Amino acid sequence: MNDRELLGLAKEARKRAYAPYSGFFVGAALLCADGSIYTGCNVENASYGAAICAERNAISTAVADGKREFEAIAIAAEGKGCVYPCGICLQVMNEFSKEMRVICQDQERFQSFSLGELLPKGFDEL
């Protein structure tokens, strides 16, 4: 699975997003170390704090299926410029894979970052 294919799966997941409040639809595709892939989309709620991001949706589904080792995650959203994961999502990624690649779309191109580039001082257990 290459980065472009993973981003394609994230774009498909974006179509299933539930975003009646913001109108900002996001999809994510997570590549596990064993080659399995999990997708997620953002799911909003009238109580804004109860919303879940696409990235955490994909990670939670993978964890519920027993996966703990992740290689890459692709994020797809409409808009200008690269759409990066929020701080909460970055911290959740940090919990499982400090070396994960994060692939973001930028119009028709995509960019790839290491998790460390996006979250250089992630919180670790005490």
- Catalytic residue positions, numbered: 55
Is 2 annotated to bind a ligand? Reply is no
Tokens at 81, concatenated: 């410029």
94 among the known binding-site residues? no
Q: Give the closest residue to 74 by CA, choosing from 26, 28, 122.
A: 28
Query: Other C-beta atoms within 10 Å of 22: how many?
Result: 12
Amino acid at 29: A
Q: How far apart are CA 24 and CA 122, in angstroms?
A: 26
Q: Please tell me whether 43 is known to bind a ligand.
A: yes
Q: 47 among the known binding-site residues?
A: yes
Annotated ligand binding at 42? The verdict is yes
Known binding residues are 42-48, 53, 86, 89
Known binding residues for Zn(2+) are 53, 86, 89
Known binding residues for substrate are 42-48
